[in-house]
A = this chain, B = another copy of it.
Amino acid sequence: MKCDSESPQGTRQKNDNTYTKKMGSEEKAIVRSKECYLSAFASDGIPTSDHLRFRTVDLPVSVTSIPDGHIAVEILSISVDPYLRTRMLGREDGLYFSQFKLDEVVLSCGVGKVIASKDDRYATGDITMSLVFPVAEYAVVPSELIMRKIDPASGIPLQEYVSSIGVPGFAAWVVVELLGLDLKQGSNVFISAAAGGVGMYAGQLFKLKGCRVIGSTGSDEKVKLVKDEFGYDDAFNYKVETDLDAALSRYFPDGIDFYLDNVGGKTLEAVLNHVNTRAHIVLCGMVSQYNQVWTERDGVRNLLNMVGKEVKMEGFMMGTYFDRFEDFVKDMEHYLREGKIKSKHRINQGIEAFVDSLGSIFSSSNIGKLIIQVNP
């Protein structure tokens, strides 16, 4: 079924990628699809084209050729998120995600249009989202991996379903709505990687709760973005403010009540010197630390502060909260329609943009939530 560069045999129809092929006595629709697979583990650096490659496959997508309980989809958009990197290490790491297998297609949150269905719940033309769509132009997937159908009449741009209503939005919503039960009007909130996918939405959700929100991020442009677009009370560029302790003293004269940590290491340590009594730290990921094996990571030396200040620190994985996904979607759709949540997207075109896009997340070079527009 898979072939690397073979020419399609059969009669082209619909678009350049689809054609029919005589298989035995039946004529079946076939699509030519480019897909991204893991060719080597990126065990100690950012995944590049040395690790992620593309191949073209001919995929039978007619209703007679796909298995029961499966749907064939044309992928429209794919989300590019930092955690993906930790599925490409070839070793179990602190996030404990299962590793992608070598030679298999990598998976990410995406939006796709059904082109054939062997599940009564989905019809041709339906728009669906999944957290684990193949990073490919077309795919045949078990329908149980579909998170929901998207109503095209909702007026919400489809790309929101891989950002504010996708992985980063859900992570942010879990932090603020489910874990942040101690948040109060005026709570002093700090967010690292404030312009990243999670930070962008978390900051806005914290503001909707009446908190005072300060972010750190990696460029002056992003500082401006989170303040002007996302309503952060203030923000600073950690590459300019190299004395984190001094920066936190200045931005948090009354201490930190809640810290959403996306970076770990020295930032987390600095925060622990500025926490108020019964501060709450939620660990969402540690982008500053993914490069190293754990023994080479920055150790946090002041955890004793957690005793005297009675700090609670907790990590979370989104999967634990999937039973609340519909509540989340309802909340976010409402906020988006009311204009209370804004997104900033960086949209790269074509499936092959996936590799460089993933790399750019770790170099601070991109601004806005990264999305691959696979098919227009």
The contact string, 1 if C-beta is below 8 Å from chain B, for chain A 67-109, is: 0000000000000000000000000011111000000000000
Question: Given A310-B316, A313-B312, is A304 in contact with B284 using a C-beta cutoff of 8 Å?
Answer: no
Stretch from A50-58, A247-255, A294-302, A367-375 at the B interface:
A294-302
Other 11 A-B pairs with CB < 8 A, given A283-B306, A286-B304, A299-B299 = A94-B303, A94-B305, A95-B307, A96-B305, A283-B303, A285-B307, A294-B304, A296-B301, A307-B317, A309-B315, A310-B316
Q: Which of B286, B301, B304 contacts A307 (CB 8 A)?
A: B286
Give the nearest-CB partner of A306 in chain B.
B315
A84 CB to closest chain B CB, in angstroms? 14
Contact between B314 and A306, CB atoms less than 8 A apart = yes
Whether a CB of chain B sits under 8 angstroms from the CB of A157 is no
A376 CB to closest chain B CB, in angstroms? 36
Give the nearest-CB partner of A312 in chain B.
B314
Question: Given A312-B312, A312-B313, A313-B312, is A284 in contact with B307 using a C-beta cutoff of 8 Å?
Answer: yes
Most chain B CB neighbours (cut-off 10 Å) among A94, A284, A309, A320: A94
Give the nearest-CB partner of A297 in chain B.
B301
Question: Given A312-B314, A314-B312, is A302 in contact with B297 using a C-beta cutoff of 8 Å?
Answer: yes
Most chain B CB neighbours (cut-off 10 Å) among A298, A311, A313: A313
Give the top 7 A-B pairs by smallest Cβ distance, nearest first.
A299-B299, A94-B304, A96-B308, A307-B315, A306-B315, A95-B308, A312-B314
Give the nearest-CB partner of A94 in chain B.
B304
Whether a CB of chain B sits under 8 angstroms from the CB of A214 is no
A217 CB to closest chain B CB, in angstroms? 20
Identify 21 residue pairs between A and B in the complex whose beta-carbon atoms are under 8 Å apart, listed by A's number: A94-B304, A94-B308, A95-B308, A269-B299, A283-B304, A284-B307, A294-B302, A294-B304, A295-B301, A298-B299, A299-B301, A300-B300, A300-B303, A305-B315, A310-B316, A311-B314, A312-B312, A312-B313, A312-B314, A313-B313, A313-B314
A193 CB to closest chain B CB, in angstroms? 14
Complex: A317 Cα to B309 Cα, angstroms: 8
Whether a CB of chain B sits under 8 angstroms from the CB of A264 is yes
Query: Which DSSP category, helix, strand, loop or mixed, fits chain A's interface?
Result: loop
Contact between A307 and B316, CB atoms less than 8 A apart = yes
Complex: A356 Cα to B333 Cα, angstroms: 66
Whether a CB of chain B sits under 8 angstroms from the CB of A38 is no
Residues of B near A297 (CB, < 8 A) are 301-302, 304
A167 CB to closest chain B CB, in angstroms? 14
Complex: A172 Cα to B43 Cα, angstroms: 43
Contact between B314 and A310, CB atoms less than 8 A apart = yes
Question: Given A312-B314, A313-B314, is A283 in contact with B307 using a C-beta cutoff of 8 Å?
Answer: yes
Residues of B near A269 (CB, < 8 A) are 299
Complex: A178 Cα to B290 Cα, angstroms: 36
Complex: A66 Cα to B268 Cα, angstroms: 51
Give the nearest-CB partner of A292 in chain B.
B301
Whether a CB of chain B sits under 8 angstroms from the CB of A366 is no
Whether a CB of chain B sits under 8 angstroms from the CB of A289 is yes
A308 CB to closest chain B CB, in angstroms? 3
Residues of B near A306 (CB, < 8 A) are 94, 283, 313-315
Residues of B near A302 (CB, < 8 A) are 94, 294, 297
